[in-house]
């Protein structure tokens, strides 16, 4: 497991609400450098909401989300762009630009944020596609490749500017177990070789056991974090029965007929 001295994201007293309905109520946690950090919970518990707040798409009701001391909630203008550049995001369906080839998709952030010569951009973009095993498909349009490949290409695009943090929203959703396992391997490899910190929203248990070295679990009834730790450890030793149930894939008592 990664060293825990090094806090890379600091979430403090975070409350998220849609109008008057509070989804997450006053939670605080840290993400440490090099971790594969999984946000977990049942449907509707606010996992994706939390992720969208962390990447600055939504503004929290209260609280702060700091990247290395810089709060993304209050940052504006150039400062905000500078924070946004520190992380990459893979959206649930890839969100590749359909009118561009994979290479052009990966090249886009390079064109906007670096002063590299054009052939250097091609080379860098190609290395990113190489890292996710899609070099041969550089000239393909997103519509011409499979869903799993689209997600890998989306990871390559998220890595274009070499961010230290990658946010992945449901990376395994809609993928077959083999493709999903390949994606898990890719995440582990990138984490190991590039020391990228991953923040992943998922509820695929096999995937969580395979990759996560820390999970936090949200519960929609209390709107708080109900578990925080190593998934294998939580499965066996959590003092919260609902958490153990979740990890052991048992249906909830009250949902049984």
Partner 1 sequence: MPLTTGVNEDSGVAPVGGTWNLSPIEWPMSPSEVSSLSHQIEDGDAGRVLALAGRLDADSTGAVWTDLARAVETAPGSIVIHAEKVDYCDGFGAGLLLDLQRRALAKGRALRIEGLQPAFQEMVGAFDPEHYKTLDIGRGAQTSAVTSIGQAATDVVKDLRGFVTFIGELALALIWAVRNPRSVRWKDAIRTAEVAGADALPVVVLVGFLIGFVMAFQSAIPMREYGADVFVASLVGLAMVRELGPIMTAVALAGRSGAAFAAELGTMKVNEEISALTTMGLSPARFLIVPRVIAAVLMTPILTIFANAAGIAGGYIVFISLGHPTVLFQEQLRLYIDMNDLMGGLIKAFVFGMIVAGVGCMRGLQTTTGASAVGRSTTSAVVSSIVIVSLTDGLFSVIYFFLDF
Site membership for partner 1, residue 143 (CB under 8 A): yes
Identify which range of 159-167, 211-219, 230-238, 245-253 contacts partner 1 by CB under 8 A: 159-167
Q: How far is the CB of 148 from partner 1 (least distance, A)?
A: 17
- Residues counted in the chain: 257
Whichever of 22 and 145 has its CB closer to partner 1, that residue is 145
Window 52 to 81, contacts with partner 1 (CB under 8 A): none
Give the pairing type, strands 197-201 and 36-41.
parallel
Q: By the 8 A CB rule, do 64 and 26 touch?
A: no
Q: Which is nearer to partner 1, 124 or 181 (CB)?
A: 124
Query: Are 226 and 218 in contact, with CB atoms under 8 Å apart?
Result: yes
Q: Which of 99, 146, 237, 250 binds partner 1 (CB under 8 A)?
A: 99
Structure tokens at 224: 């708080």
Measured between alpha carbons, how far is 155 from 171 in angstroms, rounded to an integer? 9
Q: Which of residues 119-138 bind partner 1 (CB under 8 A)?
A: 119-120, 122-128, 130-131, 137-138
Under rule CB under 8 A, residue 84 binds partner 1 = no
Q: Does 174 bind partner 1 (CB under 8 A)?
A: no
108 touches partner 1 (CB under 8 A)? no
Residues that bind partner 1 (CB under 8 A): 97-99, 101, 103, 110, 113-117, 119-120, 122-128, 130-131, 137-143, 159, 161-162, 193-194
């Amino acid at each position: 497991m990664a060293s825990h001295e090094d806090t890379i994201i600091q979430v403090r007293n975070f409350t998220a609400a849609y109008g008057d309905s509070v989804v997450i109520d006053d939670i605080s946690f840290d993400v440490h450098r090099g971790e594969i950090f999984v946000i977990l919970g049942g449907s509707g518990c606010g996992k994706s909401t939390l992720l969208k707040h962390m990447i600055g798409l939504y503004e929290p009701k209260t609280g702060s989300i700091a990247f290395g001391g810089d709060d993304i909630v209050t940052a504006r203008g150039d400062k905000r762009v500078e924070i946004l550049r520190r992380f990459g995001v893979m959206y649930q369906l890839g969100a590749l630009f359909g009118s561009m080839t994979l290479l052009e998709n990966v090249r886009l952030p390079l064109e906007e944020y670096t002063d590299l010569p054009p052939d250097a951009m091609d080379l860098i973009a190609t290395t990113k596609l190489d890292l996710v095993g899609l070099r041969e498909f550089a000239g393909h349009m997103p519509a011409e490749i499979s869903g799993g490949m689209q997600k890998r290409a989306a990871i390559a695009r998220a890595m274009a500017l070499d961010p230290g943090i990658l946010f992945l929203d449901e990376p395994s959703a809609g993928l077959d177990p083999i493709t999903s396992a390949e994606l898990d391997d890719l995440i582990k490899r990138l984490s190991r070789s590039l020391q990228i910190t991953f923040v992943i929203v998922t509820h695929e248990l096999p995937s969580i056991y395979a990759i996560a070295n820390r999970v936090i679990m949200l519960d929609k009834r209390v709107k708080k974090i109900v578990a925080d730790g190593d998934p294998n450890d939580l499965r066996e030793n959590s003092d919260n029965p609902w958490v153990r149930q979740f990890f052991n894939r048992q249906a909830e008592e009250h949902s049984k007929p």
